[in-house]
Each structure stands twice: as C-alpha cells, then as structure tokens.
C-alpha cells in the first residue's frame, strides 16, 4: 500500500534508498541537591564536560571536508556557546547559590535563555535557539557519557543508498553524513532556515523537513523515494513509480551537468547583446560557488550577518570579513552593501531603534545615518579592505537625495581620516545606491548623477509599489512583476542609468529567475546578480534568448495587457 508523507522540501533533488532511523538514547537527567562540601566538585564536573565537548567540536572541525565552510561556521558557533558566560557562568552560579547538581543547573539556565529567545519572533533568533539547544545537549551527553552525535557506530560508513530519518540533525551530524555520501535526509522538525536545511542546501543533499512522527511512522530498511522539490516522501511504491523517479533523477543530473556547460560560453544573447552575471554571497561557501559558476563578481554582499550577535562588530572585525570576501573573489569586484537593518531584520544590538511599523521605519540608510558612528566604522572597514582588491559600496533604501548627500559626506570624511592615519585605500572607490523604493525610482534622474552605479532591489520595490507582502498568503497572488507600474519604474531606472552613464544591476529575486531575466532583458537590463545556484540556468536562458524578440513580446503585452504569469510564460517560450 503506497503512502506519501509531506513536509517542506528545502533542497531540490531526488533520493531513492532505504530508511535508516537515527534515534538518540533518552538522557537520564538527574536532579538533586548538594552538600556544601560537594559544590566545587560539581562545578569542576561541569567544566570537565565542557572541556570534553570543546575537544569533540575541535575534532569535528578537523574532519569537515573541503567545501564544508558552512558546517565549520556552525560548529564554531557551538564552540563559542560552550564558553558563553550567559550560559556557563550563570549555571555555575546556580550550582553555588541553589546547591543543585550540574545537569539541573545547566537545564535551568538554558531554559531561562530559551524563554528569552521565544519572546522574539525572528528567524535569526530561531537559529540562535537551535544553536543553544544543540550545544547544551552536547554538554549533557558528555556528562552522561553518551555519544556526542546521533551519527556514530549505529550508522554505516557508506550511505549512497540510504535516506536518514531523524528527529533533528546538528552540524556535526550533517558533516559526518555528508562525508559518508548520504542519499537524502528527513527530519521531523526544522524549517527552511534551520541549520540542517542551510547545510543541506550548501552541500546539495536532497532534504525534506517537518514530517511529523517520521521516525515512528517509517520502518528501518524500508524503501523510500524522497522528492525534495515537492517536499514528499513516498513509501510502498510500485516498480513503475520507482522507474519514473529513477528516470527523473537521471534527467535532473543530466540537466544540471548540461547547464554547467553554458558557464564557459560567452555572455551574449542569440542576437548578440552582451550581459554580465554576478553572484549574491556572504558566507565563504557562497563565494566559492560564485567562483565555480564563473560569476563576473559579487553584485550583492549583505553585511547584516556581521551585526547579528549580542555585541556589534568593531571596525577590525568588519575589515577582516570584507578582506576575506575580496581575497576570495581573486580580483573580481565585490559590491558590499552597508548595513540594511530594520524592517524584519533588526539586530539585537540595535533593537532600541525599533519603531511601531518596522517596514516603514528607521531602516537601511536611514538607520545608518541615525547611528553615524556605527556607519563610519563600517565605511572605514570597507575603505581599508579596498587595497586588497576591487570593491564598491552600495547604500540601501534610498528615498531622499539629501540622505545620499549626507552619506557621501561621511564617506569622504572617512576617506580623509584614513589618509591622515597613513592607511592605504582605494581613493576612487565607487559608491552606488539601491533603488528599491517608489520615491527613489520616481526621482531616479536626481539620484543617478550622484551615484557611480545603481542596483534595483526588486523584492522591496514590488512590495512597496503594489502594497503587498508576498509572505502573506492572502495577498501573495497579487505579486506580479509584469504589473504596468513595475515595468514602467524599472524602465525609467534603466533609461536614467544610460543618460547619466550610471550602470544598473538587478539584484532582487527576479534576477535569479530564468523567465523574469528575459523580461528584464526586454526592459534594457544587462547586469544581473543572483544566488550562485541560479547562475547556470539564468545564463542558459539569456544565451538562448533574442533580446529583440523579448522586446517585441513586451511591447505587445503593454498594448494588450495580460497577466504577468502569461507574459513570463511567453518570454520563456521565445
């Protein structure tokens, strides 16, 4: 009898294999009070478990294979938590003050921190919560002399025909499973932005998360088909369905291989119009994938991740991050967007600036100009990094020309300050602006003469122009990149760029869509920046397109408007 379990597909791809369930042994967490003379020994027992946990993470870091930078970063985050005074010192205090055993104190303290995290409905905080839970579990397992990971002796060394099913998976588990070439992954918990999902995408392992009770509902060694695209796990299928998915898997692998052949071809449409493809990146693995995809450079390096800790990063910390990114791209330009905090992504260190309506409040460049010392530190860090390779500054969320003047004065001040200090910098470092608000798009002819380049952020532009939130399923059907207002604004930006010799790049989600790039091509866009995984398909789409034909289709659409979906479909068939 066939059964289909559904969850959330976080990585496209198909895995066919047999189930291996990872079931952690239940930890016996004792709770007892201590005699006064036993307190220091209990603290020492906790510290010993932390030391052993740290040594385990160090061993895992040494084992992480090439290309596992994301796993390495997550393991480093766990190592930092092991020494976090908010966890460890506070647990020690509980042992001393309440005279309770180490496990009890550690669980109490972690629960107190988790309660604080739960009050904040934020995707970044959710990841911190996951980090904390996994680091505490590691310490508790060391105190109980239990294996530190789910993956150990109970998992075979060759997993090419195995689909792992678990409650959840940590970075150490993922690193080992990747080394053993696991076919696919299923977890009962986690979302698209959980650590395991991020790692699965980074390592290109087909994965479905959020299949409730999967461990109990599936039998060991049961044959399954995992479809990461549709978030489905099929059980009890017949030979016909298996052959269908085997063919589909082979076709998918052939398609990916074929797409990569386009990477070496000249960036020209069928009728000879040139274009440039850039990558969006912030993690080391993403820079590596941009190089592999032969990206012309980094069109968008977000910097918010540097500001997500409890402490804001200082100038030197930022300088090291920007230098690493520039050196990773080996001479290709890196566009660093200054802090685009606000909206739904305000760092804890700047939470005091949160207003009643974050999407329309102190965010992007407005926030930087409100906390100018923070902005100056970031600008100095970028300028100092500019001696290591080509780099340009991108200012987010422009709405008013005076804001741009103010930002440029600060950049000039920072430049002079560094020169007085004898620091080497690129004196001609380009400064660009994000055109992503209706105000900036309508006033683009005032902005363009003051900028060295412009980037169109289509996600925010469409949201603000159409007054819809795509995450709201009640109105998401109204999201339409072919809406006349959107087409008109993008065209105005492109024309202003040509008039003032100010190059225009699209770095929003449309730039990574193989159909939407043909629409942008028809509007005159020639520079696109996207996640590295989208580069092969987008390049094929543009190489196979005729720019003139795309413009004809767009002109016909404007004369007799149809839905944006129909327009994109026709452009893709061109």
**CA–CA distance from 42 to each of 96, 108, 113, 275 (Å)?**
9, 15, 22, 65
User: How many angstroms separate the CA atoms of 89 and 91, rounded?
Assistant: 5
Cα Rg, the chain, nearest whole Å: 26
DSSP readout, 384-399?
Answer: HHGGGS-EEEEE----
The values of phi and psi at residue 19, to 5°, are: -75, 135
556 is in an annotated binding site: no
Q: Which of 502, 507, 550, 557 is catalytic?
A: 507
Within 8 A by CB and 6+ apart from 526, the residues are 273, 274, 275, 276
Residue 17 corresponds to which tokens in the numbers above?
A: 């294999």
26-36 b/e (C-beta count within 10 Å ≥ 16 → b): eeeeeeeebee
3 state SS of 476:
helix
**CA–CA distance from 509 to each of 25, 125, 496, 528 (Å)?**
43, 24, 22, 10
Beta strands in 240-387 (DSSP E): 276-280, 298-301, 334-337
Check if the beta carbon of residue 395 is closer than 8 Å to that of residue 433.
Answer: yes
With residues binned 3-state (H G I as helix, E B as strand, rest as coil), the percentages for the chain, rounded to 5, are: 55, 15, 35
Nearest to 252 by CA among 556, 16, 509, 513: 16
Length of the chain equals 574
459 is in an annotated binding site: yes
Catalytic status, residue 414: no
Going by DSSP bridges, is the β-strand pair 207-209/8-11 parallel, antiparallel, or unpaired? antiparallel
311 is in an annotated binding site: no
Q: Which of 78, 195, 290, 502 is catalytic?
A: 195
470 is in an annotated binding site: yes
CA triplet 272, 275, 281: central angle to 5 degrees? 160
Nearest to 283 by CA among 349, 328, 330, 339: 328
Q: In which order are the strands placed within the sheet that holds 184-187?
A: 3-6, 232-235, 223-227, 14-22, 162-166, 184-187, 207-209, 8-11
Q: For the chain, how far is it from start to end, CA to CA, in angstroms?
A: 44
The values of phi and psi at residue 500, to 5°, are: -105, 15
518 is in an annotated binding site: no
User: How many angstroms separate the CA atoms of 479 and 370, rounded?
Assistant: 32
User: How many angstroms separate the CA atoms of 530 and 277, rounded?
Assistant: 8
254 is in an annotated binding site: no
Going by DSSP bridges, is the β-strand pair 14-22/8-11 parallel, antiparallel, or unpaired? unpaired
What count of other Cβ atoms lies within 10 Å of the Cβ of residue 44?
11
Residue 178 corresponds to which tokens in the numbers above?
A: 């990747």
Check if the beta carbon of residue 562 is closer than 8 Å to that of residue 554.
Answer: no
The values of phi and psi at residue 506, to 5°, are: -100, 125
User: How many angstroms separate the CA atoms of 571 and 518, rounded?
Assistant: 6
Enumerate the active-site residues: 195, 507
Annotated binding residues for phosphoenolpyruvate: 302, 337, 459-460, 470
Annotated binding residues: 302, 337, 436, 459-460, 470
Annotated binding residues for Mg(2+): 436, 460
């Amino acid at each position: 009898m066939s059964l289909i379990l559904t969850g959330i597909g976080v990585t496209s791809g198909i895995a066919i294999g047999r189930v291996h369930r990872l079931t952690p042994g239940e930890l016996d967490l004792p709770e007892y009070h201590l005699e006064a003379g036993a307190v220091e020994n209990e603290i020492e027992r906790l510290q010993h478990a932390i030391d052993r946990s740290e040594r385990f993470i160090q061993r895992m870091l040494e084992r992480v294979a090439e290309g596992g930078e994301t796993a390495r970063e997550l393991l480093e985050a766990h190592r930092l938590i092991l020494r976090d005074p908010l966890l460890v010192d506070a647990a020690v205090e509980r042992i001393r003050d309440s005279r309770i055993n180490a496990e009890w104190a550690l669980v109490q303290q972690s629960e107190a921190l988790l309660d604080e995290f739960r009050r904040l409905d934020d995707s970044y905080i959710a990841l911190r919560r996951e980090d904390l839970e996994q680091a505490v579990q590691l310490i508790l397992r060391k105190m109980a002399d239990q294996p530190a990971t789910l993956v150990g002796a109970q998992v075979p060394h060759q997993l090419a025909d195995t689909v792992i099913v678990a409650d959840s998976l940590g970075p150490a588990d993922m690193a080992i499973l990747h080394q053993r070439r696991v076919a696919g992954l299923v977890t009962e918990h986690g979302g698209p932005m959980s650590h395991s999902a991020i790692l699965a995408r980074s390592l290109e392992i087909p994965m479905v998360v959020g299949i409730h009770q999967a461990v109990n509902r599936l039998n060991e060694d049961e044959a399954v088909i995992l479809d990461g695209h549709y978030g489905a796990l099929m059980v009890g299928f017949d030979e016909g369905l298996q052959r269908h998915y085997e063919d589909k898997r082979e076709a998918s692998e052939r398609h990916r291989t074929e797409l990569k052949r386009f990477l070496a071809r000249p960036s020209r449409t069928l009728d000879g119009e040139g274009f440039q493809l850039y990558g969006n990146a912030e993690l080391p693995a993403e820079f590596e994938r941009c190089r592999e995809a032969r990206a012309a450079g980094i069109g968008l390096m977000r910097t918010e991740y540097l500001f997500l800790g409890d402490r804001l990063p200082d100038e030197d910390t930022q300088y090291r991050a920007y230098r690493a990114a520039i050196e990773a791209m080996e001479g290709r330009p890196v566009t660093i967007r200054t802090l685009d905090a606000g909206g739904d992504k305000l760092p804890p260190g700047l939470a005091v600036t949160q207003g009643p309506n974050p999407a329309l409040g102190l965010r992007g460049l407005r926030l930087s100009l409100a906390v100018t010392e923070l902005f100056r530190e970031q600008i100095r860090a970028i300028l100092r990094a500019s001696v290591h390779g080509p780099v340009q500054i991108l200012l987010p969320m422009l709405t008013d020309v005076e804001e741009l003047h103010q930002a440029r004065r600060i950049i000039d001040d920072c430049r002079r300050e560094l020169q007085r200090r004898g620091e080497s910098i690129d004196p001609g470092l380009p400064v660009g602006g994000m055109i992503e608000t209706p105000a900036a798009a309508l006033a683009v002819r005032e902005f363009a003469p003051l900028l060295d380049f412009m980037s169109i952020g289509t996600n925010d532009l469409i949201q603000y122009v159409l007054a819809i939130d795509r995450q709201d399923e009640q109105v998401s059907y109204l999201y339409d990149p072919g809406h006349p207002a959107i087409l008109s604004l993008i065209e105005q930006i492109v024309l202003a760029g040509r008039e003032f010799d100010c190059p225009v790049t699209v770095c929003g989600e449309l730039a990574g869509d193989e159909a939407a790039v043909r629409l942008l091509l028809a509007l005159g866009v020639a520079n696109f920046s996207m996640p590295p995984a989208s580069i092969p398909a987008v390049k094929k789409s543009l190489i196979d397109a005729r720019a003139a034909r795309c413009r004809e289709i767009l002109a016909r659409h404007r004369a007799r408007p149809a839905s944006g979906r129909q327009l994109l479909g026709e452009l893709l068939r061109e």
